[in-house]
Amino acid sequence: MTLLIKKALFVGFIALAGAIYTTFSHGVTSVFMSYAFIWVLVGFILKALIDRFLPRRIKKNIKHIHVGLWLSYMINATLGSISIGIITIAGSYTNFLYIQLSVGLISLALYLLLSLVLLWSSH
């Protein structure tokens, strides 16, 4: 139960930070900044659902890769979204703006693919 509370507090913290930033931005907002908490929320929900169906006995190296892909998604998608929001609110733009968010989404795709392979191999 305490893990669920920690996860809820983390999602709430990111949502609160986005709300505070939007409140004091003098009317200049970014969807990426306001809704950055959704990446974390989706990540926690997906991990909880997928872990429920994964086999208990997975090789240690594969388990580390699986968790690493999930962490990569969580960090890159959330920070990428916040970075895009800050740069957009500042009125700037760069071609490299969406790279971190893209890395996060690629990590999510690889995490889901590895999850499907692990589920398929266990049956």
Q: How far apart are CA 102 and CA 63, in angstroms?
A: 23
Per-domain residue ranges of the chain: 2-122
Q: Mean pLDDT over all residues of the chain?
A: 88
pLDDT in tens, 24-59: 877 788 888 888 999 999 999 999 999 888 887 878
pLDDT in tens, 75-88: 999 999 999 988 88
pLDDT in tens, 20-33: 887 887 778 888 88
pTM as predicted: 0.84
Amino acid at 66: H
